[in-house]
Structure 1
Amino acid sequence: MGDTQNERIERMYDVLVVGSANADLTVRVDRRPGAGETVLGTDLVESAGGKGANQAAAAARLGARTALLAKVGDDAFGELLLEGQREAGTELRHVLVETGARTGTAMIVVGPDGDNSIVVSPGANAHLLPEDVEAAREAIAASAVVSLQLEIPPATVRAAAETARDAGTRVVVNPSPAPDRLDPELLAAADPLVVNEHEARHLTQLVDGTPEAWARSLRDQGARSVVVTLGAEGALALEAGAGEAVAVPGVKAEAVDTTGAGDAFTGALAARLAAGASLPEAARFAVRVGAVAVTRPGAQPSYPTLAELPPEPGQFT
């Protein structure tokens, strides 16, 4: 779905993210509590998050012309999210403020290994509707890539995918939280579908499968192309029509907090695809970005600029 040089010049945005915006409420613990158990944690940290807002911030910090279509409440958390996007350099004209609504909230528990457990309360995200997508039709058509996730209503995600497809805009789909079954039209629009190991297993039902088997299964189900993220092991990219998948090696990093690392990867992937990179090239770049993000606490505050990326290959702590 390449653009001509003239079309690239006329683009309004490199990346338009349609998705969620949440206030992240994070506490670190020495160990996660069991059922019915109480443990002590650190002081609560409030920061900007949400899969949509995270991906937009990641792309914008890397220099991509980025906009976010999302909905927040008219509360303090809503302003926190707007300020986070301003700092990243995201265009905010498509962020809608719902009067009287509570901004979406994510409650995050981070263990000593940096891994996290997250519970999301949708709040205003549940009020981002297909008519909001229709109102942004021109912006979608004027974007190189539209990035989607599943923390907003399914009908809204489907409307965004259909609008982008009709306009010839490339669609990146990160199906998280993973549903029991992906909408066939959304799957058909995905170029690529970006999944982690847990999501890949869930969506393919190949519990003991390999990353390449997951990727092939998802492409056979209808995705145009697939990227499987593998944490510290890197990623695997299967392009449309390609006979073999390309393994992308990981970058060594000392994980402090993995919150939002997948969003850093997806935002970076979308930004590099918008710049004309092949899928394996974009995945290699995104692995580096995600590796930097895990070395810092939080989601959006951990995302690097281009100047903060180490040379490839590189090691950092």
Structure 2
Amino acid sequence: MSPSVTVIGGVQVDVVIVPVGELPPQGQTLLVDEMSMRVGGAAANAALAFAETAATVRLMGCVGDDHLGNWLIEVLGELGLGGELHVVTGGPTGLTVACEAPERDRTFLTYLGVNAGWDLSMIPADAGSSESLLVCDYFLAPALRGAPTRELLAGARERGGRTYFDTAWDPADWPEATRRELLDLLPHVDVFLPNEAEAEAASGEHGSPERAARALQAASGGWVVVKLGARGCFAAGPETVEIVDSTGAGDAFNAGLIAALAEGGSWPEALQAATGLASQIIARPSGGRHRAAPGARSGH
């Protein structure tokens, strides 16, 4: 049976214009080379990606009954994803203008539309019944902030599901009240998924995504995975190894990495094997801590 995932969050239209290095001065016009319109919003983007995997995915979001909303339902419906979108009669669908350029990171101008009033009553009662629940675009659904999101996350856990949370950037620039609000939600989150800027802003640990991840992990108790763009990611999880003797931990890591690569393992597999071997060894007492694998032999 394929894994089941429910995604709750933003569903909107994205208009992407390229290149936009900066906005023109007031009263002036900037010509761009490209424009595209596509399905957008963090929840829709994630659901479309899930559709390319073996997972069974449910998408829950909010659109208006206008031309853009009808277009979103039609496009998503072709992939079996439009059936659980809540349609607000007489309301406008949300839209984001994404400005991109090769020399700079993207910036976004977002109109919430009906997302501004999307609340818990518009989400199916069995939203948390999947094996995994991803809640995203937290700040773009103001009526779901705080207690409603906590109810969604806690309900999924009570049913035995795993919870994932991706807030995206806070347009209000992370005031202290918002940071406290987030820290109140994290104990209900199994995997928190911020990017580097979000992790540092939420934790108050600036200049170090590793420190930011560990601070957020301490508040959560679960995993925190900080996305670092081209540099990959940094994951901080709960401590599961009781360290008895840490001497030689780095040497054990080296051995595990080299052995896994020599056996043809990929880099992710080799790094996992190296960490696993080092974790096993530092959990053993000093005396007799090394155990030869079955069939192992020296080179002489």
- Whether TM exceeds 0.5 here: the answer is yes
Tell me the residue number matched to 2:58.
67
Tell me the residue number matched to 2:238.
240
Describe the shift of the 1:233–1:184 C-alpha distance in structure 2 as closer, same or farther (beyond 3 A): closer
Tell me the residue number matched to 2:128.
140
Shift of 1:242: 4.4
Shift of 1:128: 2.0
Tell me the residue number matched to 1:50.
41
Bigger RCO of structures 1 and 2 (CA < 8 A, at least 6 apart): 1
Tell me the residue number matched to 2:248.
none
Greater than 6 Å deviation, 4+ residue runs: none
Q: Do structure 1's residue 127 and structure 2's residue 117 form an aligned pair?
A: yes
Shift of 1:159: 3.0
- TM value normalised by structure 1: 0.66
Q: CA RMSD in A?
A: 2.5
Count of equivalent residues: 232
* Contact 2:195-2:227 at 8 Å conserved across structures: yes
* Contact 1:130-1:159 at 8 Å conserved across structures: no
Equivalent position SS for 2:54: coil
Structure 2 gap ranges (5+):
244-267, 273-300
Counterparts of 1:194 and 1:75, CA distance in 2: 32
Counterparts of 1:30 and 1:122, CA distance in 2: 22
Counterparts of 1:165 and 1:94, CA distance in 2: 21
Shift of 1:26: 1.4
Counterparts of 2:224 and 2:80, CA distance in 1: 26
Tell me the residue number matched to 2:198.
199
User: 1:23 pairs with 1, 13, 30, which one?
Assistant: 13
Q: Do structure 1's residue 160 and structure 2's residue 128 form an aligned pair?
A: no
Tell me the residue number matched to 1:108.
98
Equivalent position SS for 2:206: coil
What code does the residue aligned with 2:166 have?
N
Describe the shift of the 1:130–1:98 C-alpha distance in structure 2 as closer, same or farther (beyond 3 A): same
Counterparts of 1:43 and 1:203, CA distance in 2: 34
Tell me the residue number matched to 2:224.
226
Tell me the residue number matched to 1:85.
76
Q: String of CA shifts for 1:34-54, please: whole Å, max 9, x gaps.
A: 664642213532111011111
What code does the residue aligned with 1:98 have?
V
Describe the shift of the 1:92–1:31 C-alpha distance in structure 2 as closer, same or farther (beyond 3 A): closer
Q: Do structure 1's residue 117 and structure 2's residue 100 form an aligned pair?
A: no
* Pairing of 1:168-317 with structure 2 (within 5 A): 168-178=160-170, 179-180=174-175, 181=179, 182-209=181-208, 211-242=209-240
* Contact 1:56-1:90 at 8 Å conserved across structures: no
Describe the shift of the 1:234–1:242 C-alpha distance in structure 2 as closer, same or farther (beyond 3 A): farther
Counterparts of 1:193 and 1:139, CA distance in 2: 19
* Contact 1:49-1:81 at 8 Å conserved across structures: no
* Contact 2:4-2:131 at 8 Å conserved across structures: yes
* Contact 1:193-1:223 at 8 Å conserved across structures: no
Q: Greater CA radius of gyration, 1 or 2?
A: 2
Counterparts of 1:168 and 1:185, CA distance in 2: 21
Tell me the residue number matched to 1:300.
none
Describe the shift of the 1:238–1:102 C-alpha distance in structure 2 as closer, same or farther (beyond 3 A): same
What code does the residue aligned with 1:168 have?
G
Structure 1 gap ranges (5+):
1-8, 245-279, 285-317
* Contact 1:29-1:39 at 8 Å conserved across structures: no
